[in-house]
Structure 1
Amino acid sequence: MTYDPMKDDRLDMRNRGLLAGFEEPMLSQAADVATREEALAAANTPEALAAEEAMSELLGMLDNEDVMPSKGLRITTESLVSHPDGNTINLQIIRPDTDEILPCVYYIHGGGMAILSALDPNYRAWGKTIAHQNLCVVMVDFRNSLRPSSVAEVAPYPAGLNDCVSGYHWVTQQQGALGIDGDQIMIAGESGGGNLAIATTMRLIVEDVSVKPVGLYALCPYILGAWPSEACPSSLENEGVLISVANNHPTMAYGIEALEAQDPMAWPGFAAEADVADFPPTMISVNECDPLRDEGIAFYRLLQRAGVLSQCRQAMGTVHANEIFGAFMPDISRMTARDMAGWLKECSLAR
């Protein structure tokens, strides 16, 4: 039976209308591929590029000044040299236009580690929503594995993770210039950015950095590497609701070798208790009607078994990464932004 969002009683009515306008799920592909080269070729067919252009037009509508105003904010971009590859990446910095020393959210964008950019209009809008909670937001634009972000190079794991770690180090080194409190830096990200937020935290712990993140806030993390999964029923129950994960293109592009090696820094669904035992306080946020819902919940339960101060929240009636569609559902975006600010405060109290 064809999925009809208008008959899905779980969905917020606004999501029913939104999904009814899609001819097919986002990120859908016709068939699996055998190599990274095939995934790259499929991502650059005329049909794929036309679908990307259509998605860009939709996302371009989401930076609505009436809903997410720029007034009172300072928005800048910076570039840095990432290590160890020596490539250049960009960061978008959004903060209240004040000299006040602020807590910081180091934010990693979604897109399956394969597509999208922190400089896209929807992320600018989402960053403004977070910044209006009296926070400094630094959004890192790492190298994607399928299509360029704001830099031309695309590269597989660990390129994107290296860029995210390098960006974090830059933030800690520039805390005076950024006007942030180095003791109140929280790492956050959604979907593929949730994967990278977890993996960046894991890498920083292994490196034993001097300026550690005070907390972690991972939204709908994309961490299994292979779908569907019988252990995560939502990957079957919600397949095709806004997004499709029933293909291997992002996995093949980002890190099939790392998947085969069960590397938790590429695919944190493989993490063991020892890998997360030293995590800072962590919030996992999931969406009810998301194929990725249950892998996020499973990661929360891993944190609990490891003795990490952690919580898990589920936003009812929502689809994957609903928070970044703020122009359509601003209350959901603002509520989550307020929760992020609240969790950062709780993390600071727990130090």
Structure 2
Amino acid sequence: MEFTSSINQIISHLEKIQSFNAQNPLDDTRKYLETMSLQLSGKKEAVAMIEELHVPIENHEVPIRIYRPKGKGGQKSSAIIYIHGGWFIAGSFETHDAVVRKIANKTGSAVIFVDYRLAPEHPFPAGLNDCIDTVKWVIENAESLGIDADQIGIIGDSAGGALSASVSTQIGELLKFQVLIYPAADNKLNTKSWETYETGPVLNKEGGIQAWKWYHPEGENTPDPLAVPVLIKNFKNTPSTLVLIAEHDALRDEGQELAEHMKEAGIPVQISFYKDMVHGFMHMGEVLSEVQLAVNEMADFARQHLETVEK
């Protein structure tokens, strides 16, 4: 396989990252993602305001951040729920901060980042339930949040793409659109793209197998389609969907397969193929112009479905 000079530069950088004082492989994975994001995301855009709240759910709370875009007045805002990636075991406010800021400003929507519970401490369906319950809470409290409850979309990347797809099958009638960015849709890791990119770049099969075991321990023998969305049969509530696929990504084929399943179910689906890109490229804005291109494409897609977004 051949990579562009920019991707080779990124791969070389990734090989040099060392997690500071990692206590174990899980801690190493979490710190690696934080370090990668911090070093490669580039300069963070200013937004009008960032609010941190806690969503009360049964016997715990889900932390969220609301990013208010620049230049918006006092009217009710459209909103985008953002569900982050990290193999279901990593990811935080900080790992996706730069990306979420870009999306907020470009779409003109408030972006609500969900800091859902992670495996292995909280395996499936804890994280999914947090995401579903947070969407419901946002809609129920839209008035006080300054959000238009009828103008809400959802975006998920990688593991967050899997979670988003499952959220949409449950409560998609509440959402105007969905964007899945290189979704982690299958726990089998046996596609052609996994064979090609088994050892990277960015992802590796050994880490993926461990992550799925932590997230969905029963998945090897009795997989739940809400954990493994490539197995979903009923997409009845799913809104119009945009799927972003990266060429040099182990998850490429399963993302494509999920998109095709949605199409077969009659869901309006656009598939956008990012040539030369690797998994996680949305975190690499310091080097890759494609990050802004992808943000622009997502914003255009949002404009098609959110009435309150400025045309």
TM-score, structure 2 normalization: 0.88
**Structure-1 residue corresponding to 2:225:** 264
Partners in 2 of 1:174 and 1:259 — Cα distance? Answer: 39
Answer whether contact 2:67 2:110 (CA < 8 A) is retained: yes
Answer whether contact 2:202 2:280 (CA < 8 A) is retained: no
5 Å-filtered alignment, 1:32-111, equals: 45-46=23-24, 49-50=27-28, 52-62=30-40, 64=42, 67-70=43-46, 72-83=47-58, 86-97=59-70, 98=72, 99-111=74-86
Matched, 1:334 2:295: no
Aligned in 2, Cα 1:46/1:264: closer, same or farther, shift over 3 Å? closer
Answer whether contact 1:187 1:216 (CA < 8 A) is retained: yes
For residue 172 of structure 1, report the CA deviation from its aligned partner. Answer: 0.7
Residues 213-238 of structure 1 deviation map (CA, whole Å, 9 limit, x = unaligned): 011111111010121x1xx3111112
Answer whether contact 2:48 2:69 (CA < 8 A) is retained: yes
Gaps of 5+ in 1: 1-7, 27-43, 147-153, 206-210
Residues 250-282 of structure 1 deviation map (CA, whole Å, 9 limit, x = unaligned): 11111121452231101101112xx11331111
1:265 aligned partner, one-letter code: L
Matched, 1:282 2:241: yes
For residue 14 of structure 1, report the CA deviation from its aligned partner. Answer: 1.3
Counterpart secondary structure, 2:9: helix
For residue 340 of structure 1, report the CA deviation from its aligned partner. Answer: 1.4
Answer whether contact 1:25 1:241 (CA < 8 A) is retained: no
Matched, 1:19 2:33: no
**Structure-1 residue corresponding to 2:213:** 252
For residue 95 of structure 1, report the CA deviation from its aligned partner. Answer: 1.4
**Percent of aligned pairs with the same amino acid:** 23
5 Å-filtered alignment, 1:130-169, equals: 130-133=103-106, 134-146=108-120, 154-169=121-136
Answer whether contact 1:80 1:90 (CA < 8 A) is retained: yes
Aligned in 2, Cα 1:136/1:155: closer, same or farther, shift over 3 Å? same
2:147 aligned partner, one-letter code: I
Aligned in 2, Cα 1:53/1:277: closer, same or farther, shift over 3 Å? closer
Residues 299-343 of structure 1 deviation map (CA, whole Å, 9 limit, x = unaligned): 1111111111111111111100211222332x3222212211211
**Structure-1 residue corresponding to 2:179:** 217
**Over aligned residue pairs, what C-alpha RMSD do you find?**
2.3
Gaps of 5+ in 2: none
**Structure-2 residue corresponding to 1:34:** none
1:179 aligned partner, one-letter code: G
Partners in 1 of 2:241 and 2:281 — Cα distance? Answer: 20
Answer whether contact 1:25 1:242 (CA < 8 A) is retained: no
Answer whether contact 2:78 2:306 (CA < 8 A) is retained: no
Partners in 2 of 1:53 and 1:114 — Cα distance? Answer: 11
Aligned in 2, Cα 1:19/1:172: closer, same or farther, shift over 3 Å? same
Answer whether contact 2:158 2:183 (CA < 8 A) is retained: yes
Counterpart secondary structure, 1:177: helix
2:81 aligned partner, one-letter code: Y
Counterpart secondary structure, 2:271: strand
1:198 aligned partner, one-letter code: A
Q: How many pairs are equivalent?
A: 299
Which stretch shows the higher mean deviation, 123-132 or 169-178? 169-178
Partners in 1 of 2:45 and 2:27 — Cα distance? Answer: 31
1:137 aligned partner, one-letter code: V
1:22 aligned partner, one-letter code: L
